[in-house]
Copies of this chain bind each other. A is one copy, B any other.
């Protein structure tokens, strides 16, 4: 990519927004990488860490001459942020985001603009790490990670190409799919396991008659429940903003469990063995090539 943009504004310079900004800045893919937020300390740190070139806490300044906006704020903040930037954003600017549920962001954009702007390219980088905040920003964060783009039929293909090239320049693997499919797949493979882990830890916690039950947990429990140490605000937002797909998959899973409970109660050794074997094969086959 040698199409250098004029000014990219990153709204929300935390781990994801900061890593995006830092990578783009190092590659020189924009004349100016600008950070916007309401925490000036954080933005100053972003300049010191060479994550952004400049910052503002005033949205009008942030939008001036900007040709691409990256919304890297929590799902719950998408709509208010869009409302504040709408009067100031240049007509031709591309808007993209990094939210982990997609239909809800599309809905927020549509609500704020009154229509779905053809320059809005919904996106979801599948990356993260234990630490959060701009201090953890890492220009290598997206290397070999998937970034899902979910443009609508009306989305400008030029806008999609520009966003795609930025992610590819950061060595991410870009895939395009519908917002609906995205939300289904991530409800099933990411949101569901997180909620299941939260549920297990919380349920055990509510059983003091087991004593300090966590004392007896071994590696299996630690692995299973690690994601229950994830950020509560983020998971509240995801649960709310992708509630339909999540409720659907949780219900499906609960019903699946009911079937397994019957097998355990009936002591159906053969059916359980078959289930465990298929699951083990499926996991080993699909996961083996990923870092594990």
Question: Which positions in A face B, CB cutoff 8 Å?
Answer: 126-128, 145-146, 148, 184-186, 188-190, 192-205, 207, 210-233, 235-236, 239-240, 243, 246-247, 250-254, 256-258, 260-261, 263-265, 267, 269, 272-273, 275-280, 282-284, 286-287, 290-292
Pair A221/B189 contact, Cβ less than 8 Å: yes
A141 CB, nearest partner CB in chain B, Å: 12
Pair B224/A275 contact, Cβ less than 8 Å: no
Pair A260/B195 contact, Cβ less than 8 Å: yes
Can you list 25 residue pairs at the A/B interface with Cβ under 8 Å?
A127-B218, A188-B210, A192-B200, A193-B200, A193-B224, A195-B260, A196-B257, A198-B279, A204-B282, A205-B279, A212-B286, A214-B283, A217-B290, A222-B290, A223-B223, A223-B226, A225-B283, A225-B287, A228-B283, A229-B283, A236-B272, A239-B272, A246-B264, A247-B264, A254-B254
A272 CB, nearest partner CB in chain B, Å: 5
Residues of B within 8 A of A200 (CB): 192-193, 196, 253
A267 to B251, CA, bound (A): 15
Copies in the complex: 2
Pair B216/A146 contact, Cβ less than 8 Å: yes
Pair B253/A203 contact, Cβ less than 8 Å: yes
A220 to B190, CA, bound (A): 7
CB contact between A232 and one of B230, B260, B264, B277 (< 8 Å): that residue: B277
A140 to B46, CA, bound (A): 47
Pair B202/A278 contact, Cβ less than 8 Å: yes
CB contact between A254 and one of B126, B127, B257, B272 (< 8 Å): that residue: B257
A10 to B175, CA, bound (A): 55
Residues of B within 8 A of A264 (CB): 195, 239, 243, 246-247, 250
Residues of B within 8 A of A186 (CB): 216
CB contact between A202 and one of B188, B224, B279, B290 (< 8 Å): that residue: B279
Pair A198/B292 contact, Cβ less than 8 Å: no
A217 CB, nearest partner CB in chain B, Å: 5
A222 to B236, CA, bound (A): 22
